[in-house]
Amino acid sequence: MAKSEAVTRNEPVSRNDGSSSESSSSGNREFKGDVFSMLMREPKYALQVYNALNHSDYSNPEEIQIITTNHGVSLSIRNDASFMIDRHVNYYEHQSTYSPNMPLRCLIYYIHDLKEFVKYDKKDLYSRRMIPIPTPHFVIFYNGEDKRPETEVMRLSAAFYHQTEEPELEVICTAYNINPSFNEELKEKAGVLYGYTHFVEKVRTYRETEVSLRAAIDRAIDECIEEDILRDFFLNNRDEVVKVTDIDMTFETRLQYVKRDSYEEGLEDGRAEGREEGRAEERLRAETAERRANAAETRVDALQKELDQLKKQLSKD
């Protein structure tokens, strides 16, 4: 297997000889994402997580071929980390806000890469010979503040207008909750996940007591370095970690406000309409919940677009 190299999205997932194309100089600058995606773009960390998830024992990080997001599908539809190893293509996503649309997004990522794979290797789709393609794996790591199960499976078919027992197209994503006390065995095997979770929890704790969010982030980084938690990563990437964490945590706080305000507004509107029209209590609760969800979704979408624009600007600076 070739040494680890960045594979841009407008290039193939992998060549026939197993090597990958070099990324452009802007490939690693176009979209930094968040701390999780920064970590997963380092082959040694990606390999660590892959082994933990798949009970494998690959030992050479140079077997990892990082796929960058250069010229990706779009700014708002991009994956946090993807890489190839031994003809397995892996799409890892980090979520602090739950979204049921991850299978659809993962399908888009994979189809995009398949198109580039076929195009680059000049495969004949009408050939009588079967064209082998990389085996995909889709994984989500959740560390939001809303309660979620320890592990859950998400299926593309759940979004179909017409449900069927045997869907003719399926994408399966496995979501792992990596918050404290969840999936501890996985985090023990993949120390980078433990370190990332530890860092996030420190920031969340200290932002309640420090004079500013930046001060909380700096304190969390200092302690991680002192405790030898992702020490080299924080020493080498401190400025960038501070910037992206500041943006993410600010977004996370605003998101909590949106949920609270949408709940209160929806509840008050529902009560008013219920009093005026004498609706049944069950119907009132159902319509209030729907109104609250719709309002929250609209505001969350707006916040997500704002977050993506901020990160895009950060990458240019």
Residue 104 located in a structural domain: yes
Residue 175 located in a structural domain: yes
The total number of residues shown for the chain amounts to 317
Which pLDDT belongs to residue 303?
Answer: 59
Residue 282 located in a structural domain: no
Which pLDDT belongs to residue 187?
Answer: 98
Those residues with Cβ within 8 angstroms of residue 283's Cβ, 6 or more apart along the chain or in another chain = none
What does the pLDDT look like over 139-184, one tens digit per residue?
A: 999 999 899 999 999 999 999 999 999 999 999 999 999 999 999 9
Residue 152 located in a structural domain: yes
Residue 157 located in a structural domain: yes
Exposure of 48 in the CB half-sphere (CA atoms within 13 A): 17
Residue 213 located in a structural domain: no
Residue 309 located in a structural domain: no
Domain residues for the domain of 81 are: 1-192
Which pLDDT belongs to residue 229?
Answer: 97
Which pLDDT belongs to residue 116?
Answer: 85
Q: How many domains does the chain have?
A: 1
Which residues of the chain fall below pLDDT 50? Answer: 1-32, 70-77, 267
Which pLDDT belongs to residue 119?
Answer: 85
Residue 239 located in a structural domain: no
Which pLDDT belongs to residue 197?
Answer: 96
Beta bridge mates, 151: 176
Extract the tokens encoding 64.
Answer: 């990892």
Which pLDDT belongs to residue 249?
Answer: 77
Which pLDDT belongs to residue 34?
Answer: 85
Which pLDDT belongs to residue 288?
Answer: 62
* Model pTM score: 0.74
